[in-house]
Amino acid sequence: MFGFLEKLKSGLNKTSANIANNLAHAFTDRKLDDTALEELEETLLMADTGVTTTNQIIADLRKEKFGKSVTITEVKQFLSARIADALSEVAKPLELDPAKKPFVILMAGVNGSGKTTSIGKLAALFKAKGLQVSLVAGDTFRAAAIEQLQEWGRKVAVPVFAGKSGADAASLIYDAFLQSKKNGDDVLLIDTAGRLQNKADLMAELGKIIKVIKKIDSSAPHARLLVLDAGIGQNALSQVDAFKNILDLNGIILTKLDGTAKGGMIVSLARTFKIPVNYITAGEGIDDIFPFIAKDYADILVGLK
Ligand SMILES: Nc1nc2c(ncn2[C@@H]2O[C@H](COP(=O)(O)OP(=O)(O)O)[C@@H](O)[C@H]2O)c(=O)[nH]1
Ligand SMILES: [Mg+2]
């Protein structure tokens, strides 16, 4: 069995291998000069760390080490410390409040971002902790989306509330929440549609879902999570903007880090919104989900772990 860090490390390989190759090229135990700094700058930008953060890191490194000889390990340690620092504020685990029964988790995000898959993975995670979990197939637009969640329900062995495709999502969710309460669930995970006719429709639908949930419990949904595909890099920032007001987002799940070399985008995400990143995913398997730990992530990214 792979350990947690080994697994995460292999998941992040596309980003970290790029960074490692470039660093090996730029820093061959020589004095820190303009060329090396420029190469480092390019490397960070390619990993999608964002202009502001990159400029800051480069300026700091220049101030501390310019003209001095540096080893590649020193550069990695410097980078990791800076990146971990930028991430520490948002690296927060999802705290399930046991007083909320069920603790309601609403998952939103555009089509294909990984909502349904992440719900399956989270259900497995919570179930393994001994919690009683149910799912709601709130993406009622496509029969395939409902079936996909039901498949995860079977895999994890948790019940799935589902209606017919085309059914009203808000009323399905309302009924499911009431039933889940009656059943004494600890956690209720709600899937939602990622594509309606247009953005206004999508936001109106989410608004309606929030409203019916609040009729049952004004403090719910307790977690309002945006699922973001890391592969879209800086474009993720505009998706956060679109969802954050309507949902009062209090968490992010960043997915598909295994499929991208843009693993640095989490740094600009953190800097721009300061919304907690609760989990990251790197793979399609049931246990390819990881709590987001800033220092581990930074160390893996620069090749220290
Ligand atoms: N490689 C990889 N694929 C993922 C990950 N998470 C989800 N996927 C895949 O991305 C596709 C879309 O995921 P899905 O959960 O259906 O997205 P949804 O439309 O937001 O519900 C599926 O083929 C998933 O298997 C991940 O972390 N890594
Ligand atoms: Mg889905």
Which ligand sits nearest to residue 139's alpha carbon?
2
CA-CA distance, 291 to 69, in Å (whole number)?
A: 37
Could you tell me the CA-to-CA distances from 47 to 15, 222, 224, 250, 266 in Å, in that order?
6, 33, 28, 26, 10
CA of 147 to the centre of ligand 2 (A): 10
Query: Is 4 or 207 the better-scoring residue by pLDDT?
Result: 207
- Between CA 74 and CA 252 the distance in angstroms is 32
Confidence check: pLDDT of 13 > 50? yes
**Is residue 197 over pLDDT 70?**
no
- At 90 the pLDDT is 95
Structure confidence at residue 163 (pLDDT):
95
Which residue did the predictor score with more confidence, 96 or 203?
96
CA gap 269, 242 in Å, rounded: 14
Question: Is 276 touching ligand 1 by the criterion CB < 6 Å?
Answer: no
What is the tens place of the pLDDT at every residue in 135-156? 999 999 889 999 999 999 999 9
Which tokens is 66 given? 């310019």
pLDDT in the model for residue 196: 62
Query: Per-residue pLDDT tens for 17-50?
Result: 999 888 888 887 678 999 999 999 999 999 999 9
Q: Which of 269, 263, 272 is nearest to 290 (CA)?
A: 263
Amino acid at 126: F
**What's the 229 CA to ligand 2 centre distance in angstroms?**
13
Reported as a single tens digit per residue, the pLDDT across 227-270 is 999 999 888 999 999 899 889 999 999 999 999 999 999 998 99
Q: What pLDDT score does 96 carry?
A: 97
The per-residue pLDDT for range 90-109, each reduced to its tens digit, is 999 999 999 999 999 999 99
> Which one, of 123, 114, 48, lies nearest residue 83 by Cα?
48
**pLDDT band (50, 70, 90) for residue 1:** very low
Which atom of ligand 1 sits closest to the CA of residue 120?
15
Q: Which atom of ligand 1 is nearest to the CA of 139?
A: 21
Q: Ligand 2 center to residue 256 CA distance, Å?
A: 14
Higher pLDDT, 209 or 196: 209
192 lines ligand 1 (CB under 6 A): no
